[in-house]
Structure 1
């Protein structure tokens, strides 16, 4: 059964836009994918949180100017870059793995492999190392030269309701079905308490706590995210996304059905018959989610890409070329 499912994903991954190709570096840098995979594995064995960090970084990259590696660019005195935008500031993880992979690739085949492609491969490898299903990554992206913190407003927010979240995905050419599948990435990793503490304290004029949140789960979260003397939650406090934060599987959807979705944008999937039906399907069938997630990741990784002579191949992923 697994072989059939994997074959299906490989077929889907080959149905890519013409400007990107599977095995893009077969002739120009044959060891590219293996080098990237090795660096992701090394980083993961030091810190399992690197896997969800790299998936999230790829996601956030694609929602701002497309999948062009612009999230990797450092801020300068004259420019506040994406990494310092509100959704990203102080929360991005995985830079070292990308930089280590890039350094090795520059020794292997200088000026060939883009940072945007490294990030796309690393996100795939992160899912695989977490126990998820892999896919062939279409590559050939070029790196962008512009990174602005202000543009991170396009990234879907944890407090979005269903309409807001759907619009954010639609703006990037991704469907509601893609959105439901991609949000399953929240099955791994952790979150800062500040991303959802509004659901625990002073939720609305009539409810101090979000009524859609499971009461026992809310008690647990309040213990992990207490308010300080100033009434605020520690901005550095974090909690696991679910009970198995290092394993890529469908428990996220089981949690949502139990009103234990961590973010508003997670729990809001139960507010529409269509999205609720998909959540139920994925909660029952892990393989179905794995396949749909892989297909959605392939689709997302092609959002507004730079190819051909556009952009550049950055020599240092953190700095645009001179």
Structure 2
């Protein structure tokens, strides 16, 4: 009886392992090779066309990917529209300026024609984020695919996004909750090379900063004066702001050079220079752009692995869950 019992136990363990493995299926680069071979071509062509018409698209798509993955994992919850009974993530304060959701809508419409009900909206965002980096002069990487779309989106969850006022310890803690290390945090911050900030996110650094300093003393004085002129206080121009590095349309390592020169726009960005745990990484990336590119691709893959719901779906319309699509 003992050998038979042992055999049964082994079979049960193997079955449980198989079920667990399937429920946690790994993402892989060739997920759609058979079911939608034209996927990457459709995404890249659509994103490129949109970027040619609006140069703000690359920064917005990259930010969209980050903000999506940081809330409930990479599940396209950022794309869901608000309803009469629920305010969705895209309408939370940190996401009001993300915009360019129409680009993902355009890609989805083309894919539903080419390979219906096959490609998740979450995978579209991940591929589009890679494409805007590459077309802006940054690195290329093979995007891992196979994500499902979530069905829950709450604006209240956006409080968990890293704020531009956080210090290094707070940033490290925030990224660690998503399985991302210190180097990942500094590396992904480099995505700000394509970024733009409205005055509201940094005006406190250049007006009445403290009882002793009118502006943040860590900031380059000439740079601070320029920001004060762009964002006078009180200000009523909601569109006014500042690019986050001096080559805003090009994905490069200038962001890190700006930090070392005291020209970080966000307090959270500038804090990366002030802390021994992160300064050496900033200095390394400022010296070696190829190193930054290599690490950025690796960290984007890790960010893309922050998992959403295992019980997700492939949305027919990225703005609404499938159960609502029928009505």
Q: TM-score, normalised by structure 2?
A: 0.89
Look up the SS of the partner of 2:147 in the other structure. Answer: coil
* 1:40 equivalenced with 2:47 (yes/no): yes
* 1:183 equivalenced with 2:184 (yes/no): no
Pairwise CA RMSD: 1.2
Give 1 or 2: higher helix fraction: 2
Aligned partner (choices 242, 245, 249) of residue 242 of structure 1? 245
Describe the superposition over 1:97-120 as per-residue Cα deviations: whole angstroms up to 9, x where unpaired: 100000000001111000000000
Aligned partner (choices 217, 220, 224) of residue 218 of structure 1? 224
* 1:313 equivalenced with 2:314 (yes/no): yes
Contact preservation (8 Å) 1:32, 1:105: yes
Q: TM-score, normalised by structure 1?
A: 0.91
Contact preservation (8 Å) 1:225, 1:233: no
Look up the SS of the partner of 2:197 in the other structure. Answer: strand
The equivalent of 1:24 in structure 2 is: 31
Aligned partner (choices 256, 260, 265) of residue 262 of structure 1? 265
The equivalent of 2:127 in structure 1 is: 121
Look up the SS of the partner of 1:239 in the other structure. Answer: strand
User: How far does residue 234 in structure 1 lie from its aligned partner after superposition?
Assistant: 3.0
* 1:56 equivalenced with 2:63 (yes/no): yes
Contact preservation (8 Å) 2:150, 2:308: no
User: How far does residue 202 in structure 1 lie from its aligned partner after superposition?
Assistant: 2.2
The equivalent of 1:291 in structure 2 is: 294
Contact preservation (8 Å) 1:54, 1:119: yes
The equivalent of 1:201 in structure 2 is: 207
Contact preservation (8 Å) 2:77, 2:89: yes
Describe the superposition over 1:244-296 as per-residue Cα deviations: whole angstroms up to 9, x where unpaired: 10000000000000010110110000122231111110000000000000100
Contact preservation (8 Å) 2:117, 2:316: yes
* 1:110 equivalenced with 2:110 (yes/no): no
The equivalent of 2:306 in structure 1 is: 303
Look up the SS of the partner of 1:191 in the other structure. Answer: strand
User: How far does residue 154 in structure 1 lie from its aligned partner after superposition?
Assistant: 1.2
Aligned partner (choices 166, 169, 173) of residue 163 of structure 1? 169
Contact preservation (8 Å) 1:194, 1:233: no
The equivalent of 2:151 in structure 1 is: 145
Contact preservation (8 Å) 1:195, 1:263: yes
Where structure 1 has 5 or more consecutive residues not aligned to the other structure, the ranges are 1-16
Contact preservation (8 Å) 1:141, 1:306: no
The separation in 2 between residues aligned to 1:196 and 1:47, in whole angstroms, is 25
Describe the superposition over 1:26-84 as per-residue Cα deviations: whole angstroms up to 9, x where unpaired: 00111111101111001110011100110000000001001000001111111110011
Larger Rg: 2
Contact preservation (8 Å) 1:214, 1:259: yes
The separation in 2 between residues aligned to 1:240 and 1:178, in whole angstroms, is 22
